[in-house]
Amino acid sequence: MLLTLGRIVVGLAAAVLAVAAVRSALRSIVVPRGVPDRVTRLVFRLLDAPTAWRARRASSSRQLDRRTATLAVRLLLALLVTWLAAIWLAGAGAQWALAEGSAGRAFSASAAALTTLGVLSSPGGASAAAYVEAVLGVGLVALIIAYLPSLYAAFSEREALVTKLAMRTGLPPAGPAILSRLWRPSGSQIVLNETWQAWEDWFVNLSESHTSLPVLAFFRSPQTAKSWITAAGAVLDAAALALAAVDGDWGPETGMCLHAGIDSLRHIADFHGIPYRHDAADTTIAVTEDEVLAACREMKAAGLAVVTDLGAAYDRFRANRAAYDDILLALCAYLYAPPAPWSSDKVVANRPRPPVIHLGPGSLGRVYSPHDPPPGGRRPAGQARSPGPKERG
Q: How far apart are CA 229 and CA 272, in angstroms?
A: 15
Query: How many helical (H) and strand (E) elements, i.e. helices and strands, does the chain have?
Result: 14, 0
Q: How far apart are CA 238 and CA 221, in angstroms?
A: 21
Burial of 281 (0-12, 13-18, 19+ CB in 10 A): exposed
Where do the domains of the chain lie? 2-144, 170-392
Closest CA to 38 of 79, 90, 81, 84: 79
Closest CA to 320 of 249, 248, 250, 233: 233
- The pLDDT score that the predictor gives to residue 367 is 36
Q: How far apart are CA 210 and CA 272, in angstroms?
A: 10
If one counts every other C-beta atom within 10 angstroms of the C-beta of residue 332, the result is 26
374 with 325: CB under 8 angstroms?
yes
Q: Which of the 8 DSSP states describes residue 375?
A: S
- The pLDDT score that the predictor gives to residue 387 is 41
Closest CA to 347 of 355, 358, 357, 336: 336
Q: How far apart are CA 53 and CA 58, in angstroms?
A: 9
- The pLDDT score that the predictor gives to residue 123 is 56
If one counts every other C-beta atom within 10 angstroms of the C-beta of residue 130, the result is 24
The pTM of this model reads 0.81
Q: How far apart are CA 277 and CA 266, in angstroms?
A: 10
The helix or strand, by DSSP H or E, that contains position 72, with its residue range, turns out to be helix 71-98
Segments of the chain with pLDDT less than 50: 357-393
Q: How far apart are CA 320 and CA 253, in angstroms?
A: 15
112 with 137: CB under 8 angstroms?
no
Q: Facing residues of 277 across strands? A: 368
